[in-house]
Amino acid sequence: MPNIMRSERGSVKMVFMSSAVELAIQSVAGVRIARELGVARVELAQALALGGLTPSPATIELVVAAAADGGPEVHVLIRPRAGDFIYDEDEIALMERDVRCALAAGADGVVIGCQEPSGRLDRAALFRLVDAASGASVTLHRAIDLTPDPIASLQIARELGIQRVLTSGGASRASDGLDALRALVAAAEGDIQIMAGGGITPADVASVSAAGVDAVHFSAKRTVHSDGTVRLGSANDGVGGYEVTDLETARAIISALAPV
């Protein structure tokens, strides 16, 4: 996990080995926080409150620029809508184009997931998206947690040449899926990375990491609430808040991973 180094100014900075930590972000501010904390990789999305959606092209461009010259790798979530991961032909074609656009904008990789109506991974759709990535890094997201047989799904990902799988071990929170995470790590046999994510907090990140996973993924987000007297949508408060990356929460999670 992280080594700790002291900067010239005397402040402590976490420097991570390999790709042990991934921070889910939604903005340039988020990638700046990742840089400050020495995070190796970010997953860029929008609407994390909905589980994440594909960010705008301009957002990708600005985040890639902010991550340049020694910053974290930028991996872009490709998800055209909220809800399930069962996509029709139009949606798959859209995701293919989004994969190409994200990589053309300078992203280091993409994050994908598709299911058949049966719940199994949609091998044909995933193949199209992996092919669109043209050799760039591909992560299978938590769609695997919704499949009836995650071990079989992991094998499909391996066969498609996907580099890593983001999973909570089939639970809402990774801390509740530790046995499944250990089983996935064993089944991966070192051929594909297992990255644990899902509700990770400073209190449980060490136990999740101890399951033997290759990396941990967290958002460290907080909600900024908006007030208004006119309803602008279907949000409970009539206006809706928005979520941002919280520096201190991210720092606390990373500190909990640091060697004693």
Residue ranges of the domains in the chain?
3-257
More confident residue, 6 or 210: 210
Contact (Cβ atoms closer than 8 angstroms) between residue 154 and residue 184: yes
Contact (Cβ atoms closer than 8 angstroms) between residue 45 and residue 26: yes
More confident residue, 148 or 3: 148
Q: What's the pLDDT score for residue 236?
A: 59
Q: Which of 58, 178, 175, 53 is nearest to 113 (CA)?
A: 53
Q: What's the pLDDT score for residue 259?
A: 61
Q: What's the pLDDT score for residue 7?
A: 33
Query: Does residue 9 surpass a pLDDT of 50?
Result: no
The CATH number of the structural domain formed by 3-257 is 3.20.20.380
Q: What's the pLDDT score for residue 225?
A: 78
DSSP 53: B
User: Can you tell me the mean pLDDT for 175-190?
Assistant: 97
pLDDT tens sequence across 57-116: 999 999 999 999 999 999 999 999 999 999 999 999 999 999 999 999 999 999 999 999
Least confident of 146-160, 163-177, 245-259: 245-259
Please, what is the average pLDDT of the chain? 90
pLDDT tens sequence across 208-239: 999 999 999 999 999 887 766 676 666 555 55
Q: What's the pLDDT score for residue 13?
A: 41
The Cα diameter of the chain in Å comes to: 56
Contact (Cβ atoms closer than 8 angstroms) between residue 41 and residue 21: yes
Beta strand pairing status for 73-77 and 215-218? unpaired
Query: Does residue 14 surpass a pLDDT of 90?
Result: no
Sign of CA dihedral 165, 219, 172, 119: negative
pLDDT tens sequence across 18-47: 348 999 999 999 999 999 999 999 999 999
Q: What's the pLDDT score for residue 228?
A: 65
pLDDT category at 258 given cuts 50, 70, 90 is confident
